């Protein structure tokens, strides 16, 4: 057996190790390469599956969108077609109406042509008749000139002179009527003014409010009141400023004066003198002075008590005497202090209902006639006098305006002025407030409506606001707007001539036109 060297064995071993390593590496490489190929194929397969799923989803979504778009398109198409049909129907209707109008216009043109032809024929006939009438007028004129012996110009002159004379006569009669009507109105207005003055100054025609009667124990007392040569009665009249009337009335004398407070002082003083029996000038002055002071205190107490009853605060002390004087003043027999208290209560109630201050309304209503306590001392309407007094004694602007404007002597600046005027009207015009019985009150309203109903064209009249206003409803076809104004004046004049009433009456004529139509 041959012998091999040792390096041969080493080389063979190395070669064997190299071949084994290469085979192992190749096997490991093939194994790794196969695993990578499997992973690659698996990833590719997953990608293919995902792509196919995405494609199918996209195809489904595209089909749904296509279906929805098709539905929308069909709906819009149907709407457009419906709108087109509706407009087509409208156009057809309009075309039909136009055809009818054209036919109507054609008929109307035919009628107008016939009418125009008839009018032209009528015009020709009228021109011919006018020409014939002119010829006849010329003949008549010539005949009249021949009969009368006057030319046409002279006849015109005579006719114009006659017309001028007639016009002058009619103008003179109109002037006379206007003068007489003016005199009647002036007389009525003067009587009103005099009546107001008499109410303020207490003249003779309201003697029941201007005189007081003092009872005497016997008629011999009349001589003692007169005194020797009339010195007692002169001293009494000089001290009181009141007239003493001694007549044949048994057991009584009369004291008469314009100032109700002075008249009351005179009455009380005379009663004290009669009871005392000592009547001479010195005693008269003493009694009158004492009674005057007592009356002043009493008048002030009346004012304080009235303010206390109403709860009025911060009233100027100098205003109390004027308030107390209202207890001795009357208006159509209505005691002014009680009237003021009533107006204050009514104004407060209305203010509460309207959400206004009832205390302020009560103050305005209570002081609204305060000017009547001094109107015999100061010239002017009692409302303006009262406003000046309220301003003098520190009342606020609302009260001043309410007092001055409750008879519209000044412009109202707030709601309290209207409340005061309304409360004053309520208190003064209610039945029984001013010596007017319910029967008389109702009869006056009936007479007021009867006067208005008596005029032609009047359908119905209504007396409202306790007879302070009458509303007359007239037939619009019989009475025009101008006639309505004349009718209002005529009704007011007839009321003034035939009725007796306190204050004033507002006449309102209402003419209404109504048009009615029925839509079928």
DSSP string, 187-256: HHHHHHHHHHHHHHHT-GGGHHHHEEEEE-SSTHHHHHHH-GGGHHHHHHHHHH--EEE--S-TTEEEEE
276 vs 331, higher pLDDT: 276
Q: Express each pLDDT in 145-158 by its tens digit.
A: 666 665 667 666 76
pLDDT at residue 145, rounded to an integer: 66
pLDDT tier at 354, thresholds 50, 70, 90: confident
* pLDDT over 90, % of the chain: 4
pLDDT tier at 345, thresholds 50, 70, 90: confident
Q: Output 235-239 pairs: Cβ under 8 A, ≥24 positions apart.
A: 235/281, 235/284, 235/285, 236/266, 236/269, 236/270, 236/284, 236/288, 239/284, 239/285, 239/288, 239/289
Cβ neighbors of 463 (< 8 A, separation 6 or more) are 445, 448, 449, 469, 470
Is 317:402 a contact under the CB 8 Å cutoff?
Answer: no
Rg of the chain over all Cα atoms, to the nearest angstrom:
57
pLDDT at residue 500, rounded to an integer: 73
pLDDT tier at 199, thresholds 50, 70, 90: very low
Q: DSSP 3-state assignment of 128?
A: helix
* Secondary structure E strands in 321-369: 330-331, 334-335
pLDDT at residue 464, rounded to an integer: 83
CA dist., res. 271 & res. 277, Å (int): 10
Average pLDDT value for residue range 209-218: 70
Average pLDDT value for residue range 473-496: 87
Structure-token pair, residue 41 = 């194929």
Does residue 52 carry a pLDDT above 70?
A: yes
Directed axis angle between helix 281-310 and helix 336-353, to 10°?
10
Q: DSSP 3-state assignment of 149?
A: coil
pLDDT at residue 401, rounded to an integer: 92
DSSP state of 3: P
pLDDT at residue 364, rounded to an integer: 92
Does residue 203 carry a pLDDT above 50?
A: no
pTM greater than 0.85 (yes/no): no
Does residue 201 carry a pLDDT above 60?
A: no
Q: Rounded to the nearest 10 degrees, how much is the dihedral formed by the CA atoms of 190, 194, 195, 199?
A: 160
Q: Express each pLDDT in 234-273 by its tens digit.
A: 888 888 888 888 877 777 888 887 777 788 888 888 888 8
Average pLDDT value for residue range 427-443: 62
Residue 511 pairs with which residues in a beta bridge? Answer: 474
Q: DSSP 3-state assignment of 464?
A: strand
Q: DSSP 3-state assignment of 458?
A: strand
Is 479:500 a contact under the CB 8 Å cutoff?
Answer: no
CA dist., res. 206 & res. 199, Å (int): 8
pLDDT at residue 186, rounded to an integer: 59
* Secondary structure E strands in 329-393: 330-331, 334-335
Helices (H), 372-433: 382-392, 397-405, 415-429
Does residue 196 carry a pLDDT above 50?
A: no
Cβ neighbors of 313 (< 8 A, separation 6 or more) are none
Does residue 206 carry a pLDDT above 50?
A: no
Average pLDDT value for residue range 198-225: 58
Strand ranges across the sheet with 458-464: 458-464, 469-474, 506-511
Residue 507 backbone dihedrals phi, psi, to 5 degrees: -105, 120
CA dist., res. 347 & res. 364, Å (int): 8
Cα-based distances in Å from 378 to 364, 374, 387, 389, 427: 21, 6, 13, 11, 26
Does residue 513 carry a pLDDT above 60?
A: yes
The total of other beta-carbon atoms located within 10 Å of residue 31's CB is: 10
Does residue 67 carry a pLDDT above 50?
A: yes
494 vs 441, higher pLDDT: 494
Q: Express each pLDDT in 91-142 by its tens digit.
A: 888 888 888 888 888 888 888 888 888 888 888 888 888 888 888 877 777 7
Is 307:320 a contact under the CB 8 Å cutoff?
Answer: yes
Directed axis angle between helix 415-429 and helix 358-366, to 10°?
60
515 vs 81, higher pLDDT: 81
CA dist., res. 348 & res. 365, Å (int): 8
Is 508:470 a contact under the CB 8 Å cutoff?
Answer: yes
Q: Output 179-182 pairs: Cβ under 8 A, ≥24 positions apart.
A: none
Instruction: Give how far the C-alpha of residue 368 lies from the chain's centroid of Cα atoms, to the nearest Å.
Output: 22
The angle at the Cα of 374, spanning 370 to 380, to the nearest 5 degrees, equals: 95
What does pLDDT average to over the chain?
A: 80
Cα-based distances in Å from 21 to 12, 13, 30, 336: 14, 12, 14, 146
Q: Among positive and negative, which fits the CA dihedral 410, 411, 416, 420?
A: positive
pLDDT at residue 413, rounded to an integer: 86
pLDDT tier at 333, thresholds 50, 70, 90: low
């Amino acid at each position: 057996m041959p012998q091999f060297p040792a390096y041969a064995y080493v080389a063979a071993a190395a070669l064997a190790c190299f071949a084994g390593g290469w085979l192992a590496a190749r096997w490991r490489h093939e194994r790794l390469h196969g695993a990578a190929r499997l992973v690659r194929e698996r990833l590719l397969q997953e990608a293919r599956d995902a792509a196919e799923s995405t494609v199918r989803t996209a195809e489904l979504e595209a089909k749904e969108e296509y279906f929805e778009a098709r539905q929308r398109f069909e709906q819009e198409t149907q709407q457009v077609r419906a709108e087109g049909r509706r407009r087509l129907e409208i156009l057809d209707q309009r075309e039909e109406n136009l055809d009818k109008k054209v036919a109507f216009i054609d008929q109307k043109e035919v009628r107008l042509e016939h009418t125009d032809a008839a009018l032209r024929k009528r015009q020709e006939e009228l021109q011919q008749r006018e020409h014939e009438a002119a010829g006849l007028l010329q003949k008549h004129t010539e005949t009249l000139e021949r009969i009368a012996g006057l030319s046409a110009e002279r006849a015109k002159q005579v006719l114009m002179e006659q017309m001028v004379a007639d016009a002058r006569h009619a103008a003179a009669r109109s002037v006379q009527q206007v003068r007489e009507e003016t005199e009647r109105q002036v007389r009525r207005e003067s009587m009103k003014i005099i009546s107001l003055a008499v109410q303020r100054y207490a003249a003779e025609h309201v003697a029941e409010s201007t005189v007081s009667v003092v009872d005497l124990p016997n008629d011999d007392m009349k001589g003692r009141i007169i005194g020797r040569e009339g010195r007692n009665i002169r001293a009494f009249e000089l001290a009181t400023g009141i007239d003493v009337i001694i007549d044949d009335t048994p057991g009584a004398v009369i004291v008469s004066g314009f100032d109700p407070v002075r008249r009351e002082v005179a009455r009380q003083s005379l009663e004290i003198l009669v009871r005392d029996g000592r009547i001479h000038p010195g005693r008269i002055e003493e009694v009158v002075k004492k009674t005057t002071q007592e009356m002043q205190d009493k008048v002030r107490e009346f004012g304080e008590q009235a303010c206390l009853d109403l709860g009025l605060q911060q009233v100027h002390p100098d205003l109390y005497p004027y308030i107390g004087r209202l207890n001795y003043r009357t208006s159509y027999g209505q005691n002014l202090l009680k009237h003021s208290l009533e107006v204050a209560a009514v104004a407060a109630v209305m203010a509460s209902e309207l959400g206004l201050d009832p205390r302020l309304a009560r103050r305005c209503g209570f002081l609204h006639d305060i000017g009547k306590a001094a109107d015999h001392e100061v010239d002017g309407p009692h409302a303006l006098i009262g406003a000046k007094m309220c301003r003098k004694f520190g009342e606020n602007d609302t009260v001043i305006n309410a007092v001055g404007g409750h008879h519209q002597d000044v412009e109202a600046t707030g709601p309290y002025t209207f409340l005061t005027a309304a409360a004053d009207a309520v208190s003064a015009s209610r039945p029984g407030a001013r010596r007017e019985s319910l029967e008389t009150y109702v009869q006056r309203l009936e007479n007021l409506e009867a006067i208005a109903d008596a005029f032609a064209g009047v359908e119905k009249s209504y007396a409202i606001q306790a007879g302070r206003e009458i509303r007359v409803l007239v037939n619009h076809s019989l009475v025009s707007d101008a006639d309505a104004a004349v009718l209002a004046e005529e009704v007011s004049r007839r009321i003034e001539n035939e009725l007796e009433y306190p204050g004033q009456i507002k006449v309102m004529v209402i003419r209404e036109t109504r048009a009615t139509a029925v839509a079928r």
